[in-house]
Chain A
């Protein structure tokens, strides 16, 4: 178990490192940072001065190592636009995004897993077909469309919930549904297929031959085995949700990391963009690692290998 965890940890760290390289170099490829800081009115001399002042005239590798060294010490420099340190900007925004992501993931799992189990248990019946149609429709609706649709129905027409912002729990309901919806079809299909496969396994027949109650067969013997791939998928989906939160936070005007990234990209605020990309990627890598560890707990064949 320890060897497995260490191995997964090393993989996670390598991925995080790769992401940091990509995040850094891609941004430097996207334009001359000195010119964007200096502004369109500046003279070549001013641009050169800024280039020197921000250390942008050093070799890229040196700049990268300098940035990485500061990044691991939680120093991402100052925002060009917000007149604040990047760290304090992120600290003030990350709560909204993580809350939104967590609620969305929970919501999608609570809907998708039981639906998948139901579809598998009643395989081939009308319940199965309804669940599958639901997932096809779900997959076909873009997140922002659903978000706008929810606003029109529940905020504008029915006036039950607020249109935008993130100040109370009520503000999180619609964005969570819109964002969580995105993960439902994939998780549901995987739960359904996993359950179908497991339900036809020999050990399920053994459990039934023992006289175990049907509910125990489904939830204890089948779901425990079928859920293993779902855990890994849930981590990946959560990563996509963090990415999708850029859209949803913009639609609902929630001042989270996604909204910050959108603002920073629009204003060429490189330090902020770099930091947000790195942090979102690190959260994603961290979740994948946690999913690996969770799977080891669920599957003794991994844990005791």
Chain B
């Protein structure tokens, strides 16, 4: 049985102009020890999807699903108190903004040990020892001294390492990393990603990595789900998706990345024409059709997944036609 099983997740946000369908019918599973990358641009619903799993959505957002199971527990009906016990202990999250995600008023040590002590009945000394152990593991020198420091005294890279250590305090089964490297320097980005991949293997955790960086996905993911306008448009093993990207949007994204040696110097980078559609109001058909080179009248109709190869699903009714054109 999958560790996390998400079926037909829907997130609606009522706004003054109508209901915003931020996420529509997103399904995926994550096995123990597996890394799923959720890829998409800003506003594609990938962060909301992760917040929905953690039950941390803004109060106005409405979450629905046909199934949302975590290690056998039904997260749709679980009482808030039980959910709180899962959060931080069995499933933990690393956020995008290390600069603002730590409380400015408390020391690093206070915030690290709190993660452990609000779940497990451990003494202050044991919690401190665990915090030091993890700070050292995430590559922070002088861990004991760091415990007494405040967030504003640390750099962004250090703060993100602290966030990672904090997420690991209770040895979670699932860790959700929401664009953990976006706010960091490129050199630090690589270090943090390597660290996450190592820790995941070492602790046999499952990981959901949310990113808009396909380069990152290629390096660390076992499985990929590409999201566009609140829906998964393509999903499968990272190998299959990168080998044969089948949704026009996925191919568009890959074309935007310059590859050293393959992209001619001075050649214009790929771009996807048009704009992301407005998600307010009733949506029918493929949300990408107004930007798609293969669009046809049937793209406005009912959507379903095609399976070009086993374990690789593409939400496109024009798959055969695409092949014919290519």
Contact = CB atoms under 8 A, between A and B. Distances in A.
Q: Do the two shown chains form a genuine complex with each other?
A: yes
Interface of A: 201-203, 205-213, 216, 221, 224-225, 298-301, 304
Interface in B81-98: 84-89, 92-93, 95, 97
Interface stretch (B113-121, B131-139, B245-253): B113-121
A243 B116 CA distance: 50
B220 interface: no
Contact of B100 (A203, A207, A210, A216): A203
5 contacts: A206-B103, A209-B54, A210-B92, A216-B118, A300-B105
Contacts, number: 75
Closest 6 CB pairs of A and B: A211-B88, A210-B88, A211-B87, A202-B100, A300-B150, A203-B103
Contacts of B87: 208-211
B112 to A, nearest CB: 10
Most chain A CB within a 10 A radius of its CB, from B56, B89, B107, B114: B114
Most chain B CB within a 10 A radius of its CB, from A211, A216, A299: A211
Interface residues of B, number: 29
Contact of B104 (A207, A210, A213, A301): A301
Most chain A CB within a 10 A radius of its CB, from B56, B105, B119, B153: B105
Contacts of A212: 88, 114, 118
Contacts of A298: 105
Contacts of B114: 207, 210, 212
Contacts of B54: 209
B88 A203 contact: no
Contacts of B101: 202-203, 205-206
A276 B100 CA distance: 47
B105 A209 contact: no
B118 A213 contact: yes
A169 B88 CA distance: 51
B304 interface: no
A209 B93 CA distance: 7
Contacts of B52: none
Given A211-B85, A213-B84, A221-B103, 16 more contacts: A202-B95, A203-B103, A206-B103, A209-B56, A209-B87, A209-B93, A209-B95, A210-B114, A211-B86, A211-B87, A211-B115, A211-B119, A212-B118, A298-B105, A304-B150, A304-B152
B104 A225 contact: yes
A301 B97 contact: no
B286 interface: no
Nearest to A299: B105
A202 B56 CA distance: 12
A209 B152 contact: no
B210 to A, nearest CB: 14
